Amino acid sequence: MTSVEFEFSEDLDNTLFHCGIDVHKHQITIAIVGKDDSGIEKVVEEVFATTPAGLGHFWGFTRKYKPISFSMEATNIYHHVIVTFLDEKKRDAQWHYAIIIASPPDVAGIPGRQKFDAADAKTLARYAAAGLLKSGHEINVPLEDMRALFRSAMQVEKERTRLKNRIKKTLDRGGFRPVGLDFNANWSRDFVYQLTNHDDTIGTYYERCVGKDSPVPDHVSIVTRNKPKLEPFFDIKLSPGQLALVRQDMVELEFKTTRKAMLSVEIDRIICSRPGLRQRIHNISSIPGVSPYTAAWLVAEIGDVMRFCDVRSFLSYCGCSPRIMATDKKVYSCHVNRKSNKFIRTILFNAAKVVCIATRQESALKSYADHTMLRKRHRGMKLAFSITAAKMGRILYAILRDGVGFSSDLGKPRQPASEGDNGLLTITDKRMLRRAKNALVRVGTLEQLKGIAKNAAYFADALDKVLREN
């Protein structure tokens, strides 16, 4: 009689697996975790490169387990390749799976987790199996591209400003200081660049520009109109070194100007092929103080507004909600939260300045801005601009949520909720009584007033009782 050795067979169909991915720049560490109905946990770990071949091996390794979720922490831009690869594989996969991109603070804040560094792959898989992870910012390739283009254009504009200031400084050092010489205009850039090829005085160069053989033939008329600005400096002659510096900076400035125009064309190409995106930009640009360019940048930075649970979290992301500090019974409102999107924060602040100062068209938002400036003028205009920016952030949230344009009624202060003739206090009445109660409480703490302090404390308790009942 021959003996037969008992062999175990692996059945993966009765186990639900979850895949956790620890993402690095050049490699990923994955852990596939599953627990069968007997309570036995199976853990498989492996390391793969983030090259196309490495991701192909990763998919071949995980496919036999059919994990129902792939979870990873957001790692700047390094997780984008993994998410895009898994999205493409969804078309050919024979099972459904979810892709979870967890925010690192959310993972660190899970109860019972003592460490605050990046979670490893096994931990992420176990958290996903327990339902503790929630997906964060969804990756939208067109909006990601738009965001990168807008930020690159902003950097180019900063470099252009630096170059223009350097050119003006060199011209100032040579004594050539015409008022209102704007290097954003084509004629002024061409005029100054051709000046660097002229060795004589400004006056002889001007006569040459308005003559028959002008070095700037397309701008003869505008150069003639600007003669009063240039005439006081006709006797100035720039040195060869100054001309060389200006020439180099002008060439670089022209290159930066062309690059910014090309970035604008690429942004426009992305927007024109997507009607829904154009409609969203049109709705936002209807807000006073927001241009179409700014509206497109806001759409790229915000993405899907429904990823915010409410308007307060949206305002916190936009940098429009002040930090709160509390000590004893006092609550202080501090500066706005700097851990927010600095681009949206700057855009809304500048748009609020436009509404408060430059906008003339009447609307509820303009009335709100005027009232805010009048109310906060003794504490500084920056505070009024910040409050108006927060109001514009609320309007922006409503427009993106409802898919509508700006109405002149948006921005109108909420009316007090009147309760009719039943004798209940309105919101305005409660606010006034609360302020009076707080003032009486402070008076009641002054021992020097003796009897008056006791009466103040009595009335403060009475007002507090009235507020609690209403």
Per-residue pLDDT at 417: 45
Per-residue pLDDT at 41: 84
Residue from 18, 207, 221 nearest 130 by CA: 18
Which distant-in-sequence residues (6+ apart) come within 8 Å of 291 by Cβ?
285
Q: Does the pTM exceed 0.95?
A: no
Residue from 428, 433, 423 nearest 460 by CA: 433
Cβ count near 283 (within 10 Å): 19
Cβ atoms of 18 and 32 closer than 8 Å: yes
- With a pLDDT cut of 70, the percent of the chain lying above it is 88
Which residues on adjacent β-strands are paired with residue 331?
Answer: 326
Helix 364-376 and helix 381-402: axis angle, to 10°? 150
Q: Which range, of 126-130, 158-162, 445-449, averages the lowest pLDDT?
A: 445-449
Q: Does pLDDT of 468 surpass 90?
A: no
Task: Supply 280's token pair.
Answer: 């969203």
**Which amino acid does the sequence have at 189?**
R
> What CATH number was assigned to the domain covering residues 16-129?
3.30.420.10
* Mean pLDDT computed over every residue of the chain: 85
Provide the residue ranges of all domains of the chain, joining segments of one domain with +.
16-129, 143-272, 276-402, 427-469
pLDDT tens, position by position, 379-415? 888 889 988 999 999 999 999 999 888 887 666 655 5
Q: What is the mean pLDDT of residues 220-229?
A: 91
- Provide the pLDDT confidence category of residue 67 given band limits of 50, 70 and 90: very high
Backbone angles phi, psi at 123, to 5 degrees: -65, -45
pLDDT tens, position by position, 321-353? 877 777 666 766 667 766 788 999 999 999 999
Per-residue pLDDT at 113: 61
Greater model confidence, 29 or 468? 29
Query: Topology of 143-272 in CATH?
Result: Helix Hairpins (1.10.287)
Which residues on adjacent β-strands are paired with residue 101?
Answer: 72
- Provide the pLDDT confidence category of residue 427 given band limits of 50, 70 and 90: low
Task: Supply 461's token pair.
Answer: 């308790």
Q: Does pLDDT of 115 surpass 60?
A: no
Bridge-based pairing of strands 322-327 and 330-336 is antiparallel
- Provide the pLDDT confidence category of residue 39 given band limits of 50, 70 and 90: confident
Torsion of CA 79, 83, 86, 87, to 10 degrees: -170
* Angle (nearest 5°) at CA 406 between 405 and 408: 140
Cβ atoms of 300 and 147 closer than 8 Å: yes
Q: How many residues does the chain have?
A: 470
